[in-house]
Homo-oligomer: A and B are copies of this chain.
Amino acid sequence: MTDVTQIVLAKRPVGDVTPDCFREEKATLPALNDGELLIVSHYLSLDPYMRPRMSELRSYVPPFEIDRPLTGGSVGEVVESSNPKFAKGDTVIGLLNWATHTVHDGKGLRKIDPTAAPLAANLGVLGMPSFTAWYGMKHICKPKAGETAFVSAATGAVGQVAGQLAKLAGAHVVGCAGDEQKCQWAVREAGYDACFNHRTERDYGAVLDKLCPKGIDSNFENVGGKIFHAAFARMNNFGRIAFCGAISEYQDAEPLAGPPKMFAIVQRRLTIQGFIVSDHNAMLPDFVAEVGGLLKSGKLKSRETIVDGLARAPAAFMGLLKGENFGKLIVKIG
């Protein structure tokens, strides 16, 4: 019998997520059944994909359930185990509740070495967002020298890695981000050739024409909406679009129409490929080898924001959807 603090979905948002969509509550966890584990959460990853899960969308993961805890990629420690695969004291990564403790059946849970890297890094630059960036760049965008790569949400958890990988591949790399400070970090630290502020630029087409004078060969799309439309209209022949997310559209109550002139897909022989990185977990070792190596050699930088305390997760998540975070957003729980 363990007392737990957890955050449940109080109601589904329509349009913007509001504080009353969440409810913090106390609960008492039952004794473990055979095969179950009790895990104490240390870090919780907050990611844009959670927004669609709050709605009843036909999506790649089932929606969160009303009055049940939200879940998210987390690092925690096993405090009690009735599962032969895990022992008390193991550090694990996987989907845990937005909670101080989670009872888990062990499925999809992975043991990690807590001494190999800061624990939070397993949720960021060594984790799912970075794996996402690596997969999309390596297997869809395939940037190369002489080409132009465009990355929206250039300093987000995914974008910051995507942009750096494109730069390492030799491409001219252009990004966009939500404030001047992020744009400066993108250029000075992450090596982007240019990054524009999508909150102050009025004409995305004009700024892309200026920053991508040879058009766009690959687009790593995290934002969707008008930024995607402007990039789509500037794709070169045989261009590749890795469609990873559409954060600008998640809060829209009414769906936005797609870009005009879809026939450009034919005229310019474009490929648009949507992907969810968990479909490609078999490639995790390749990712760890390549990106881990880049990190060790100092060729890859990362930036994260760590928020302290589970109670602040809802506000941090609402801020994430408005672009208020800088880099990977992680909640330190305990």
Residues of A whose CB lies within 8 Å of any CB of B are 52, 57-60, 224, 228, 237, 243-246, 249-250, 255-276, 279
Contact = CB atoms under 8 A, between A and B. Distances in A.
Contact of A268 (B228, B246, B266, B274): B274
Contact of A266 (B243, B264, B269, B271): B243
B275 A272 contact: no
A272 to B, nearest CB: 4
11 contacts: A52-B267, A57-B267, A243-B266, A246-B266, A257-B257, A257-B258, A257-B259, A265-B273, A268-B274, A271-B274, A272-B273
Given A245-B263, A258-B259, 15 more contacts: A52-B267, A59-B267, A60-B269, A228-B262, A243-B262, A246-B266, A249-B263, A257-B259, A258-B262, A259-B262, A265-B274, A266-B275, A269-B275, A269-B276, A272-B273
B237 A266 contact: no
A109 B49 CA distance: 52
Q: In the complex this chain forms, how many copies of it are found?
A: 2
A277 to B, nearest CB: 10
A224 B262 contact: yes
A267 B257 contact: no
B276 A266 contact: yes
Contacts of A60: 237, 266-269
A256 B267 contact: no
Contact of A272 (B59, B249, B255, B265): B265
Pick the 8 closest A-B CB pairs, nearest first.
A258-B258, A257-B257, A265-B274, A255-B260, A266-B274, A246-B263, A272-B272, A255-B261
Contacts of A265: 243, 272-274
B260 A245 contact: no
A263 B260 CA distance: 16
A310 to B, nearest CB: 28
A264 B224 CA distance: 11
A60 B224 CA distance: 26
Q: Quick one: which of A250, A261, A262 has the most chain B CB within 10 A? A: A262
Pick the most buried of A228, A249, A259, A265: most chain B CB atoms within 10 A of its CB.
A265
Contacts of A276: 266, 269
Contacts of A224: 262-263
Contacts of A256: 260, 262
Contacts of A274: 264-271
